Amino acid sequence: MSWYRNTVWFVKGLREYTRGGYESASKHFNPADVELDVAGRSFLVTGANSGIGKATAKEIARRGGTVHLVCRNKERAEVAKEEIVTETGNQNIFLHVVDISNPKEIWEFAEKFQNEHKLNVLINNAGCMVNNRELTEDGLEKNFATNTLGTYIMTTALLPLLEKAADARVITVSSGGMLVQKLNISDLQSGNGPFDGTMVYAQNKRQQVVLTEQWAKAHRNIHFSVMHPGWADTPAVRSSMPDFYKRMKNSLRTEAQGADTVLWLAVSAEATKMPSGLFFQDRQPVPTHLPLAYTHSPPEDEEKLMQMLEEFSQKFKSVSPG
């Protein structure tokens, strides 16, 4: 069945996920949806020093929003911040150095952030695709630690702050690659069998879709969404998928095109007219399963994922100072 999923996904990708797919979809966009002044609203973007994260942060800054850049690498983040301030003239850009693969760091950051700032919109963009099985200093498989557990902790730790905000939103940048994976809760850290970084990443992205759906049910005052940016020419794609990049580089979207739906979900009034918990591509909700791909999960597996992540997260919270 995996060959069927992969083939259907790739054909779909050639049609929809490339630059041509964006250009076709964008003919139906309403520019007024994102031509807004968002001064006074606070946005937090993880993985904001390059790629789609930086492109999103820059567009929010252009519209007057207060932007918190959460990045792992201080030097690259400072360069990104300076670029955003210079290009947009917006001085309300703040930098926070946090490694999203380190659960203790996320808890400590979130606790401090809640005491010092307000937050209207959280954008979970940070991610990684590590092609060999690597463990973090906490003994966590790195893709899982960053893409799934990091996203879970950042979101749940900031929920109390978001619950207080007007028009609160959480947007998670996922991938159409999740369409080739069925949720697998039996091996969250990919320790069994051969390790395929691309498929581990796709599994993490499926997990993000499930997280979004579960959060939407539990937190009615916050609008949750998850999205696929299409195949974009970003540093992450160039470094993690060199063969794919070489084959597809002339057809890839720009970073700004990849970020367009993130921006739309973050600022437009139209986005929150849609039900919470949906998966978006090019400003439209799209199915989270391919036809006949058998990737649906029983509800108990989805609930179990949430329970397992909560247990993981509390373990790291209990050992953090304060």
CATH of the domain at 9: 3.40.50.720
Q: For residue 321, is it within any domain? A: no
* Token pair listed for 150: 């990091």
What's the pTM value of the predicted model, to 2 decimals? 0.96
Q: For residue 320, is it within any domain? A: no
Q: For residue 199, is it within any domain? A: yes
68, containing H or E segment: strand 66-71
Catalytic residue among 22, 201, 245, 294: 201
Number of domains in the chain: 1
What range defines the domain where residue 291 resides? 3-315
In the block, which residue shows the tokens 């992540």?
309
Q: For residue 69, is it within any domain? A: yes
Q: For residue 78, is it within any domain? A: yes
Q: For residue 20, is it within any domain? A: yes
Q: For residue 291, is it within any domain? A: yes
In the block, which residue shows the tokens 């058998």?
294
Query: Residue 294 catalytic?
Result: no
Q: For residue 228, is it within any domain? A: yes
CB neighbour burial string for 63-81, b if at least 16 within 10 angstroms, e if fewer: bbbbbbbbbbeeeebeebb
pLDDT by residue, tens only, the chain of 322 residues: 688 898 988 888 889 999 999 999 999 999 999 999 999 999 999 999 999 999 999 999 999 999 999 999 999 999 999 999 999 999 999 999 999 999 999 999 999 999 999 999 999 999 999 999 999 999 999 999 999 999 999 999 999 999 999 999 999 999 999 999 999 999 999 999 999 999 999 999 999 999 999 999 999 999 999 999 999 988 888 888 888 878 888 999 999 999 999 999 999 999 999 999 999 999 999 999 999 889 999 999 999 999 999 999 999 985 444 4
**C-alpha triplet 256, 257, 260: angle, nearest 5°:** 85
